[in-house]
Structure 1
Amino acid sequence: MRVLVVTAVPAERDAVTRAFGGLPGHDVIAAGVGPAAAAAATATALATGSYGLVVSAGVGGGFRAAPGSLLVADAIVAADLGADTPDGFVPVTALGFGTVEHRPPSTLVRAVAAATAATTGTVLTVSTVTGTADRAAALLAAHPRAVAEAMEGFGVAEAAAQAGVPVLEIRTVSNAVGPRDRAAWRIGEALTALTEAFGKLPPVLEGWTHD
């Protein structure tokens, strides 16, 4: 099965490539930051190549997860796609159109989590990274199963869905979601964990049958 891995920045791409990019038929790209860039680059790659799986991968902020932790999405959710109202945030689906969630194949999520000792849960896609405790608490209240936030997964998933290709999202934690404290970020640890995770994926993908 040919796999397309979509990261945001070159450092993430290189972390994946160290373990995975040299395998025949698999491609790893750095699409840019945010859901729009991720969707555009993923759609372009899918239009020019034949793939059996798309993986959104990179580092992100963790909810209740320590730096270096590995997380696999069982739901990829656009957390800020909707409307602000006097009664609070309303997702676009409640407005009567669109979607805010994509679900990766459950058998693949379980197999990857088992092989890598990852935690599964909802990974949120945001266009603005959370920087306050209040915002982090609001996201958890709205999405109790959230394990991480990042900026590209939903864009990748939208493009994959349009092409009829299954999607997976893998994140390693570089920092806690909440007040920005750059001194506490552990990006190097997160990138190392990303390389280690992708080193364990080939046998899982070889044995997976799309459900």
Structure 2
Amino acid sequence: MTSLTDPPGRPDEGAAARVLVVTAVAAEQDAVAGAFRDTSAAPAHAPAAARTLHRVTAGGVGVDVLAAGVGPAAAAATTAAVLAAAAQRGAGYGLVVSTGIGGGFQPGAPLCSLVVASRIVAADLGAETAEGFVPVTGLGFGTVEHRPDAALVARVAEVTGARTGAVLTVSTVTGTAARATALRDRHPDALAEAMEGFGVAEAAAAVGCPVVELRAVSNAVGPRDREQWRIGDALKALTDATGRLAPVFEALPAGARSGAVAQ
């Protein structure tokens, strides 16, 4: 592992700044990093939040795997800090991947299946009114979705076997059938729900960096039935899926391979 502010010079540094993979918690980070060869010289803590950054390689490509924290605010803030620190070193990222486990809308996304986002949606950013939920865009400001590059989404889906659909970012995880139904009514293409994708996408968009979101389904969206959760199996599916992403990373444009952040 390496700190967010470590200078260049570690093994494989020329490639290590090319792809940033963002998870929420250490278990997800470990699942992702376990798919690749670890090239970190030594563990080190990131500033303030004591989050750590795994440095690994996927094929011949350098990948940094970050545990950014839970929720869209933590994800956005920590991802933005890493992107800014990398850009200041002249070693920015060519792609940001938001990943981890999440809830799946049934029956479209069965337990332990994979979902790649065609839309990354801030599903509860807005206002509750007497007529129902109004997204922040309906209030006249802000944005509520990012649409990753369609060719990139298709390629990730192809190599991982993931289903393609909207992944909803929420600050409050769905725990009732009524809310699950309401979300699907507003977003008929929704396949999964998680808590960080939109925050990661906002940070990436601020520096013009491509982003994609990939989720392994650990539970059904709706009533919280812990006995039915399959977190361990979903983490294994996540390891397998991220291990298949090397060809996607290797096919990024030359500018991304050199570590340049698109502006």
Identify the TM-score tier after normalising by the shorter chain.
over 0.9
Q: Aligned to 2:20, what secondary structure does the other structure show? A: strand
List alignment gaps of at least 5 residues for structure 2.
1-14, 37-54, 87-91, 257-263
2:56 pairs with one of 17, 22, 27: 22
Match of 1:146 in 2: 190
Q: Aligned to 1:128, what secondary structure does the other structure show? A: coil
Letter in 1 for 2:193: E
Q: Is 1:187 the equivalent of 2:219?
A: no
How far 1:149 sits from its partner (Å)? Answer: 0.3
The 10-residue stretch of structure 1 (24-33 or 191-200) with the greater mean CA deviation from structure 2? 24-33
For normalisation by structure 2, the TM-score amounts to 0.78
How far 1:26 sits from its partner (Å)? Answer: 1.1
Match of 2:10 in 1: none
Q: C-alpha offsets along residues 17-73 of structure 1, whole Å, 9 cap, x if unaligned? A: 011352053100101100000000000000011000111100000012211101100
For normalisation by structure 1, the TM-score amounts to 0.97
List alignment gaps of at least 5 residues for structure 1.
none
1:128 pairs with one of 172, 176, 181: 172
2:104 pairs with one of 44, 58, 62: 62
Q: Is the 8 A contact 1:63 1:146 kept in 2?
A: yes
Residue identity (%): 69
Greater relative contact order (Cα < 8 A, sep 6+): 1
Q: Is 1:169 the equivalent of 2:245?
A: no
Q: C-alpha offsets along residues 72-124 of structure 1, whole Å, 9 cap, x if unaligned? A: 00100000000111100000001111000001111110011011111000000
Once superposed, what is the RMSD of the aligned Cα atoms? 1.2
Q: Is the 8 A contact 1:67 1:176 kept in 2?
A: yes
The 10-residue stretch of structure 1 (198-207 or 187-196) with the greater mean CA deviation from structure 2? 198-207
Number of residue equivalences: 210
Match of 1:9 in 2: 25
Q: Is the 8 A contact 1:108 1:208 kept in 2?
A: no
Which of structure 1's runs of 4+ aligned residues deviate more than 2 A?
none
Greater helix content = 1
Letter in 2 for 1:55: V
Q: Is 1:94 the equivalent of 2:131?
A: no
